Amino acid sequence: MDFYNHLINFFPKEIVERIINQEGEHHRGLLINPNKINEKEILNSNLPLLKHPNVEHGYICQSNEKLYTNNYLYELGCYYVQDPAAMLVASILPIDNKDIILDMCAAPGGKTIQLAFRNNNGLIISNDASYDRAKILAYNIAKLGIDNAIVTNDNYLTKENIDELKSAFSSVVIDAPCSGSSMFYKDEKMMADWTYKKVLKCAKIQEKLLERGYFLLQNGGFLVYSTCSFSYEENEAIIISFLKKHHMKLIDLSYIKNSYSHPSLKEAIYLYPFLYDGDGQFICLMQKLDSTIDNTILMKKTISLIDKLSLEKILTSVKLSKRHNFEYKGYYCSLPFYINLKPFNVLRPGLVLGWLKSEFVPSYHLARYLDSTNSLALDDENYAKYIKGEEIHLTMPLEKGYYLLSYKNLNVAFCHYDGQKIKNLYPKSERQ
């Protein structure tokens, strides 16, 4: 069975033909970092943008993606570029601003970043089962200066201590791995390699992820399920089967303009490229309604974490002393409030401040979190050199120690002066 005949079994011919012909726009989306920059500054930066119809701080790019990613505002964490359809997934989740949210399949991080902005007094457990993808996720969190996300590398299909986390999360986001039919336009080989067997294989994984999500969700909590597949078996069929086994309330998303809902599941939506700008997305939102007692394990303190630091002066200077500050595997870290990290395989335990050698070594993450007050301003030449990893020379007299560098009032990273030269501490993976 080819892709066309697969789709025609469930969807109107007009829709199937428009999918096959890859009609529609595939612009990128831009999510502004409100902690870094005012939206007016972005709009006055000569980047062609249209306001996203459904996403706060969201815009739709009107030119080639490189125009936005080759900009210093992007490099300095003022915005994140992602698919405008995928941006809607995190936008529709109800949040009370103090939630503990699990983003189960989070890399490269767009949904986590958006959730972190919306849930700024809460926490995001941002997870990916792939170690390499989780590392990318951790870097993106640091780049944008996110202070309320914990990056983990757990496989929730095989996680051994998952029973400890039963009913522990306010909300769960599952952007499930799928057959990826909305991505066919990027590579003709993807459609040629498509098989119905792959769809069914993905559906089995998705079914298990949904079961895990339900297990982890508090009573009254919300579960968002999404894919970038157009296959009924990975979307409506999965949800209909899931609802038969669990007491969940569907939240109607059909109010989203230019969306399509299949008659079998009218509350869920497709964002087709020929109706809604972007690559394409299926989204379903549900609320858990049963007698589950919320789990408090995430709030139970363990002796492995150290609350008292010998860094009070530093914490006070960066206005972090009223948060939960702790040591984790040699790193000094900060979160809005205490959370038990023991049940997780942690890669980035919140805002990483730095570590102690003979003196305190501040991190790249801390540089991106802070404002540019008391930083050393780089001119165009030194900024260009610094992000390439080259040595820079500053005219002002310096004492030995670490200094925060900024460009146009936006932090770049720290540097270290040893009395003779300035050591470049810009992340090697990002040097241009």
Note the pLDDT of residue 50.
96
- Our separate counts of H helices and E strands in the chain read 14, 21
Name the nearest CA neighbour of 422 among 397, 391, 395.
Answer: 391
Joined together, the tokens standing for residue 189 give 């080989």
Q: CA of 371: how far to CAs of 21, 283, 319, 350, 409, in Å?
A: 48, 36, 11, 18, 8
Q: Measured between alpha carbons, how far is 352 from 364 in angstroms, rounded to an integer?
A: 8
Q: What is the pLDDT of residues 248-271, one digit of tens each?
A: 999 999 999 999 999 999 999 999
pLDDT at 308 over 70: no
Q: What is the pLDDT of residues 99-153, one digit of tens each?
A: 999 999 999 999 999 999 999 999 999 999 999 999 999 999 999 999 999 999 9
Q: CA of 239: how far to CAs of 225, 242, 295, 414, 418, in Å?
A: 9, 5, 25, 48, 60
Q: Measured between alpha carbons, how far is 282 from 51 in angstroms, rounded to an integer?
A: 22
More confident residue, 279 or 432: 279
- Set 228, 284, 333, 415: catalytic member: 228
Length of the chain: 432
Cβ-in-10-Å burial (0-12, 13-18, 19+) of 89 comes to buried
**Ramachandran area for residue 29 (φ above 0: left; ψ -120 to 50: alpha; else beta):** beta
Q: What is the pLDDT of residues 311-339, one digit of tens each?
A: 677 777 777 888 888 889 989 999 999 99
Determine contact, residues 79/67, Cβ cutoff 8 Å: no
Q: Which region among 5-19, 315-329, 354-368 has the lowest average model confidence (pLDDT)?
A: 315-329
Contacts of 306 (CB under 8 A, 6+ apart): 326, 327
Q: Measured between alpha carbons, how far is 212 from 161 in angstroms, rounded to an integer?
A: 12
pLDDT at 304 over 60: no
Bridge partners of 401, per DSSP, are 417
Name the nearest CA neighbour of 33 among 129, 112, 105.
Answer: 112
In one-letter notation, the amino acid at residue 210 is L
Q: Quick check: helix, strand or coil at residue 191?
A: helix
Q: How confident is the model at residue 310 (pLDDT cuts 50, 70, 90)?
A: low
Note the pLDDT of residue 306.
47
pTM score > 0.85 for this model? Answer: yes
Does residue 228 carry a catalytic annotation?
yes
More confident residue, 264 or 355: 264
pLDDT at 303 over 50: no
